[in-house]
Chains A and B, each alone.
Chain A
């Protein structure tokens, strides 16, 4: 379980997040909406533990552990993973090696890459010359290998062509154990599968495409550094599309 209490975050001299409260229970996936510059990426990077995002108030707990000031790699070990929007290129480090790093040598890189239609990239330097869509597939491949309990997705569908959007969407759904109709067999009731679902997800989306593939429990709107609305994600998305963020968050206040 992830619990964020009254979180304040500064980047440089600028306060980006103020008074963030958020709870994600095991098995839950939340969608994070918000206009550009509202602090969505900041929230994800803060949960992951990027040090330039300075926590000036509040607490973050994960699995009952106070991780507010925990180093990034210890959070990863505790079960937090992230799909980045613009990850850096590391020259000389092959994608294959990166998959091994993620899985602590435990994963079958070939099989996973095949699933992500990424086999041809295994022997290329990680992120070197990757297109927007290739970066997303690479990030999902790494998350698949890492298999964390809480997954943070920063705009997983941006830059992805229509041909690959379903691959991205369905993979996220699978990673977050949202694809229960696939797993459920006749002798295993649906509600049991739901109970066994433990993976937690927090997904930033602009386009809402991801909602066509991933069922989510809650939507959240981040507006001017605050989480202003908690509701059904489809409804929120429809509302934003119709009347815009400013009007949409008004209903919450």
Chain B
């Protein structure tokens, strides 16, 4: 721990490689005392509504576990299935050696000022762990909620799918309706062990003056599957993240899907890098971006390091009402015998498609929203139905807002 603090202190001023620099001192970082709840249903209705829009259901129906954090404090943490652990990370670090073994194992604490800040100001976060062989079919939900204006929230999450386990996580990040400005820094470390399956779906529902800097790294062992879905359709001032995944075991598979909307005043710089470092590994990065006047940088980088790997990257952007979509697809083949491809397209809705739908009786607006909805509906194989439903709901909600 002392080493970590030392390293973090040295990186306190270190600017990130990507995204506009943020003056962290303009946000409050002092912990806020908030009492624990016996049940998420005790949350005020306005909070519950906002959480629901980010896929977190306070009724806990159809969920195998729940973690809710408000500002800097955990208010609820619960697992309702054997073989599934859901813990606040501070508690886990205190009580369990295994948690300390995973902590900062993949993300470098001195990567930039945000990782450093997360070590120096740690405001909790969650540990979700499926024990070996346990199949957790119902999703675990986690909510990182910001309530107080101008607050900064530094969290650190560990998501561990042990050997032969299956785990589905939905994380909703949201702000209360009255919050205008805030900062969220979230460190996430993903461990997908041998033959384990992990799906991680993150829905962001921020506010117009929010600054957001997630930092995450995952590792997938032999035969493991890691699905990483990200949905950000609501306004946010600046969001930059570049999650990295390493496929280190034979036959490991990872797929990243992102659905992004660039609203006026929003700058998103989102992408990911997947290293294919073992035989027979597969990776896919798929992004759909629509711009309504905002700026979206959609990155993707696939790195093929051994022969026989297969990887594909696809980025499609639609500019609806102004704004910028900047697609940066990258492929790095480092040996003979890799099979890697990408396609990127940025354009507008084809008039021909609108007219076709109008000839079936839809108005021009209905036709446009039908096309946009289709554009954003990406089939994600291997995702359980309730998660699919949450993604559809998040997209649908935003479509309504935009049209």
Residue positions of A touching B, CB distance < 8 A: 48-51, 71-73, 76-77, 81-82, 84, 87-88, 90-93, 97-98, 101-102, 104, 125, 142, 146
Contact = CB atoms under 8 A, between A and B. Distances in A.
Contacts of B355: 50-51, 72
A96 B296 CA distance: 32
A97 to B, nearest CB: 8
Contact of A88 (B352, B370, B376, B377): B352
Nearest to A51: B355
A97 B360 CA distance: 12
A90 B350 CA distance: 9
Given A73-B363, A88-B350, A88-B353, A93 B374 contact: yes
Given A49-B359, A92-B373, A146-B360, 20 more contacts: A72-B358, A73-B358, A73-B362, A73-B364, A73-B367, A76-B361, A81-B360, A82-B359, A87-B356, A88-B356, A90-B356, A92-B374, A92-B378, A93-B370, A93-B371, A97-B370, A101-B360, A101-B361, A102-B360, A142-B360
Contacts of B376: 92
B375 A98 contact: no
A71 B358 contact: yes
B92 interface: no
B287 to A, nearest CB: 14
Main SS class of interface, A: mixed
A146 B361 contact: yes
B357 interface: yes
Contacts of B363: 73
B361 A84 contact: no
Interface of B: 350, 352-353, 355-364, 367, 370-371, 373-378
A98 B360 contact: yes
Contacts of A93: 370-371, 373-374
A101 B373 contact: no
Nearest to A48: B359
Contact of B360 (A50, A71, A76, A125): A76
Nearest to B349: A90
A93 B352 CA distance: 15
Nearest to A101: B360
Contacts of A73: 358-359, 361-364, 367
A101 B374 contact: no
B233 to A, nearest CB: 15
Contacts of A104: 361
Contacts of A125: 374
Contact of B359 (A76, A91, A92, A97): A76
A51 B354 CA distance: 12
A49 B358 CA distance: 10
Contacts of A81: 359-360
Nearest to B357: A101
Contacts of A98: 360
Nearest to B316: A91
Contacts of B361: 73, 76-77, 101-102, 104, 146
Nearest to A50: B355
A90 B353 contact: yes
Contacts of A90: 353, 356-357, 370-371, 374
A92 B375 CA distance: 5
Given A50-B355, A72-B355, A91 B374 contact: yes
A90 B373 CA distance: 10
Contacts of A84: 356, 359
Given A73-B363, A73-B364, A91 B375 contact: yes
